[in-house]
Amino acid sequence: MLPSSPHFDSPFLPEPWRCRPKDSAAALFGTDFLKLICCPVGCRKGGSLLPTMVAPQVALMNVTQGEDVHRFEKDILNQPAGHGVQEALYLAAFLSKDFQEVCMPLLEALAV
């Protein structure tokens, strides 16, 4: 079930990402809070959430409640194959156009 109104860069979650530049969109899907991260020139990891890359990078994070070590975030995009792709495509439509142009093709490639 897809949500009707996503929340952008939710103020309820501390931002663990140090991206250059990045855009994100998040929404509640059933009982799961999912956050799509798009880094057109790669993300610099602010922990162990994603590997550091210098290529376009996209992640769909499943975020649980809590703070610091009690909060859990895990990239669930395409793990296993196809998992979270439709939700990520939905959220990608709410990214800015420049970010859509870079990250949408990465997601569409996973949808095949």
pLDDT by residue (tens digit) across 9-25? 444 333 443 344 677 88
What mean pLDDT value characterizes the chain? 77
Q: Residue 101 burial by CB count (10 A; 0-12/13-18/19+): exposed, middle or buried? A: exposed
pLDDT in tens, 45-65: 655 567 777 888 899 999 887
